[in-house]
Structure 1
Amino acid sequence: MGNAIRVLLVDDDSAIADLTATYLERASDRIETVVETSPSDALAHVTDGAVDCVVSDYEMPEMDGLTFLDEVRETAPSLPFILFTGKGSEEIASEAISAGVTDYLQKETGTDQYAVLANRVGNAVAQYRAEREAEEADEQIRRIFERITDAFFALDDEWRFRYVNERAADFFDCDPDDVLGEDIRDAFSVGLGDEFRDAYREALETQEPVTIEAESVFRPGTWLEVRIYPAEDGLSVYFRNVTERRQAQSELRDTKQKIEALHDVAARAVACDTEQAIYDLAIETAEEILAFDLCTVDAHDDGVLVTKTVSKVVSTDGYYEETPVETEGNLAARAYREGESSLVGDLRETDVVPAESEYRSALSVPIGDFAVFQAVSKEPNGFDEDDRELAELLAAHISEALTRVRTETELRAERDRFAALFENVPNSVVRYEIDGVDAICKSVNPAFEDVFGWPEDLIIGDEVDDYILPADQHHQGESLNERVKRGDRIEGEEVNRRTRDGCRDFLLHTAPAGNGEAEAFAIYVDITEQKERERQLSRQNERLEEFASVVSHDLRNPLNVALGRFDFLAEECESEHLAPIGRSLDRMDSLVEDLLTLARQGQVVDATDPVALSSVAEAAWETVDTKEAGLRLTDDAVVEADDARFRELLENVFRNAVEHGTTSSRSSDSGATDPTVTVEVGPLDDRDGFYVADDGPGVPADLRDRVFDHGFTTEDEGTGFGLAIVESIADAHGWTVEIADEDRPDSTGTRFEFSRVSVHEDETAQR
């Protein structure tokens, strides 16, 4: 808070409170006020310790000023509290003082009272802060004495003992009363010691405190920290045993040196270019820096720990050359499996069987997923936690180095594979760098040279687009280069490029080259033949559409007129010629309908969705006159198809199976006839696709090559277009349909197999 005085004003009359706050802040620029009209709300500020003084009214509806004082004192017993009230009486003043208010001031008319109030606030806070500072100083002095009074004795100006406490007497191994009055230089037969004598003399002569740290002559090997405080009439001497601290500091210095040395090893490991060199460095470090005499490094290789290097003093039979990782009772194997280091003080107290019976203690530390470092000693408890931590630090450095070497090895292999891929990929590839809007060639693969006709050594360093872009497309090339420079990846964009055989169509893919933001690969996939096929299919679709329009309009309209006239004629007269005419007209109607279906279903499928085979089959079955036939579904599959046209395909296959499967009676095992047929639908087992099979009479071998021909039928009433429509829809999807081999011993009926179908294993299908 600095010099500012934060005053909490509590008064149920907000106008009075705000007025008081205003005048207090005017009276002193150090005063900052917080106004509350509710004592309970005001207590929150006291609890937070955010105020230096409370100024409170006495008469308030929630609680009076003295009750509020009691609440404040429970939280802040010494916080200045001034009762500033308009209800003044000696009784209230006496009660307030007895309750422990810091000051009492009665409200009066006029503004002079606020200057008085500000003065009293300043005095109260000053006294409060001074008392707190004094308390803190006392506490600090108390803590100082607690720290420096381990052992104490006092000398007069003649070096004679005036006081010796119990701890000092214990150290000197004497009775305090026996040495009082004796000269410290003569009191002990071993002498005082030159360092201590010189320190006492210096303190007396300079009258300045002296602190030394030296080995005791009374107890050799014990180090003391001695603080000497002089006065005109003698010395006060405080001392404590710091032997353990010095040993810890010494060990800390030693550990620090080892850690620094291990960090240097990490730098040396960078120069290692093989894993074996790193393993050798690990053993060398363990011997020279960690002072481990007997140690090994066992690397993991296909489930086995194989010894890679050992200390010079380890005999050939002092370690296991190979240890399966799953071996029980083996410390190295367990450390590798669990990924945690272990420290065993006495191997004879465990079920571990060491390579040599003389080994008594062991330290095992995994080196990541690569190996295990192990050190052994012929002495029990040959290693401590510091050794473990240092060995773990060494293992971390070794693991990092192994990771680097293995990564570099993999990168080299990857570069080699990539170079081979770059050289042998059948598509044209060029690596280039974007300079402004120009694509500067860095390298090309042989396929690029073959397709575009430009050798690599001719176009390297030049702008690629100058060689392969048609003259009118340079603006498009610059736009593509700008997109690649922004970091965009071009995925399958159709472009036209100039090749040795003229302009051809390509799909362009780009990918960053990894050598800088402006470098990229461009892969050209030749789709010229595909585009030509698409154009042919588009023309085919246009012709089919024109044909469908002709059939729909030029044939359907006259046929509808004939059918209508036939109905009138049948009502007006009777003739034996009417029935044949009606059948012929119906036959013509069926032919026209099938021709329309054939024309429309033969168009190329543009959009497909995942659809469930079983769901589409059930829907198609419901729209076909199945008579007494049955449908059986095996395992389901999700097929990529146009739902409506897929359903049309299945309807035609089902209709064909029902019509041909029930036209003639089939003998059952009992000799009776069975006019029904069962149709089965399911996915193919050996390839992507599905089948539709029936147990009807089947297709004669000499007719199988003709069943998909337009107009071919074995029925007098058939149009011969049903299976032709099936083949057209399959072709439109890019599928292949064929009749399966029916000459197998267990084969009956007809089985249509649809292959080259896109089948999804785990995908939500339209149902």
Structure 2
Amino acid sequence: MHVLCVDPDVGSLEDTRVELSRRLPGATLYTAPDGERALETLATEPITCVVSDYDLPDGSGIDLLERVREGHVTLPFLLFTGAGSEAVAAEAIAAGVTGYVVDDGTEGRYAKLAERIAEATGGTVADATPAVGDERRAVSEADAPDAVCPRRLTALHEATTGLIAADTEAEVANVAVEAASEIHGLAASTVYLYDADANAIEPVASTGAAENLSGGPPTYGPGDSIVWRVFERGEPEAIGNVPEDPDVFDPETPIRSQLTVPLAGHGALVVGSHEPGTFDDEDVAFGRILADSAVAALDQVSSREDLTRQNERLDRFVGVVSHDVRNPLAVAKGRLDLARAELDREGIEVDHLGDVDYALDRIETLVGDLLRLARDGAAPTDPEAVSLAALVDHCRAAVDTDGATLVAATDRSIRADTGRVRQAFENAVRNAIEHADGDVVVTVGELADGTGFYLEDDGPGIPADDRDRVFDAGYSTTRNGSGFGLRIVEQVVEAHGWTVRVEESTAGGARFEVSGVELVD
């Protein structure tokens, strides 16, 4: 065992060297005051483990870890520091540190450090005995080299994969409890989720060992448990003596140590041990990382469920608009035509019928735009190459140009859903024509940086204060505008994963720039 200790404090460095020499029989101890000296030692000596402080004169311990990993991918690297907190531990673990031990000034810190070095290298600790208890994994020479931190990181990776694939809260909870037990080497784990209706956190998933404890995990209400306290405060807690905690739910519980990690308003993750003082800062850091992954998965499930409900409401809305509005509208237009015919036969002229006809046409336009707005939000399923010039030609035929001039200033194509991008171009061109009373030149071209295309006109333009509002549903500055045309444009753009912004054109008109587009020849 060849251990390199890195610490800029000479006194602390010597204490570490002496204490580790006592606890690691046969070990050879090397020292370095900074990262550069440490790398020099690594280049000349057969180092089998590095122990470093966090604060170094030439960077941090994490910086040194990254440099060590460049040439020694599997070399055990432990952080032994009094600097920082759980955030430092989380940073270290995320960077791939083998272990994290807090230099808290207590006598036991060197014993713990020696145990971690032995775990990482397969060595032995003088006068050391395995942890008591039937849950925690005892460190043996067979288990040590690739156990502990590598095992934890593997469990975190597998958990992340499972959490991403989870479709329900229950699936997320089941993955999380299994991962927690594997990461911490303990059998009893439970995920609690908050029930707003009951104002309680309820056990959703538990390992078998947790189910067998005192009749299984209970439901907790406000202020009656450690779990609720952590849930409410939003900070993880490692309790070393559970029965003596003022918020213990059951003073007779066989659990002596408990790690409780909040799930950001969703609930809490709990891991328990029959032995006191089981959890350290590294346990908390790993618990926090697992909890963050579980929270992301729960948020994803919640968003998916919200989207499903929203789509169901949208489908009902589309059904109502398509049938319950369009059918009476068709009847009204038909009756209007009959009334006009009868009045013509009688030789009677009624001027206000034209207003009725206009109003019905406006309703029909609004209904059509609303239906397009409702249907154009989904991502395109079959994008293909669409010529920008062809889109301009399409608008010449599909839009009442009313004397407007449409120009294609590019021969490039974009990869898009043809039908929906045509609708977006129609709306954008129609918007330009309506605001310029028809006498306008509309030009479509490629952005100078090659990231997309633009559509601009030489009309009156859009005031700077209104440019953030033009895409709002219902916003219009013309009498005939529905207020949905540009909202549909933005929705089609977003559905393709593009972005759109409004600028002033070179002629002082409006310019719509769409970026993030795949351009093809």
Taking structure 1 as the reference length, what is the TM-score of the superposition?
Answer: 0.32
Greater Rg by CA = 1
Larger RCO (CA under 8 A, 6+ residues apart): 2
Q: Which has a greater percent of strand?
A: 1
Taking structure 2 as the reference length, what is the TM-score of the superposition?
Answer: 0.45
